[in-house]
Amino acid sequence: MNIPGHLAVGVTQHHLFNFPPDKKTLTLLLVGSLFPDIADKTIGYILKLMPGGRHCAHNIFSLLASTMMIIRLGGKLAGYAWFTGYTGHLLVDSGRFIPWFFPFKAYNFPKGRGISFKPDLMAKETLLLVLAVILFYLNHAQRMK
Ligand SMILES: [Zn+2]
């Protein structure tokens, strides 16, 4: 899944899990929904320190450690929003390789496909994101703080 798809899942999670309509919570949920790819694709494809684009941030230990850090910095609601977005990202990605227990389990990391975009998939995900944002505004626009 690409950025629009992950954001669509995050916006939908915000609605489904009935998060309060404030910008901080929504922002943390959405950043959490993108964080695994931002971290790992930067490390793997730009810095070339790891093979592929799923390793250091695509595992449960990174999920838990970053959530604890967010809770410490921003409180339980912030941590819950981060955890929800991050978990949604990992679950959506789970149709393909995810090193769930890295670095405590050895994996043969696939090379990955690099940073590339398929136009038809991007169009579908963008449409999904537009629908999720419409749903969000229909439910939260007047109450957004
Ligand atoms: Zn990912």
Digit-coded pLDDT (tens) for 94-142:
999 999 999 999 999 988 777 778 899 999 999 999 999 998 888 877 6
**61 CA → ligand 1 middle, Å:** 15
Helix runs in 75-144, H state only = 76-93, 119-140
The answer, as to whether pTM is greater than 0.85, is: yes
Average pLDDT, the chain: 93
pLDDT top residue among 25 and 145: 25
**19 CA → ligand 1 middle, Å:** 23
Structure tokens belonging to residue 98: 């995810």
Residues that place a CB less than 5 A from ion ligand 1: 36-37, 93
pLDDT top residue among 49 and 141: 49
**90 CA → ligand 1 middle, Å:** 6
Give every CB contact of residue 17 below 8 A, 6+ residues apart in sequence: 84
Burial of 15 (0-12, 13-18, 19+ CB in 10 A): middle
C-alpha–C-alpha distance, residues 53 and 135, integer Å: 31
**71 CA → ligand 1 middle, Å:** 22
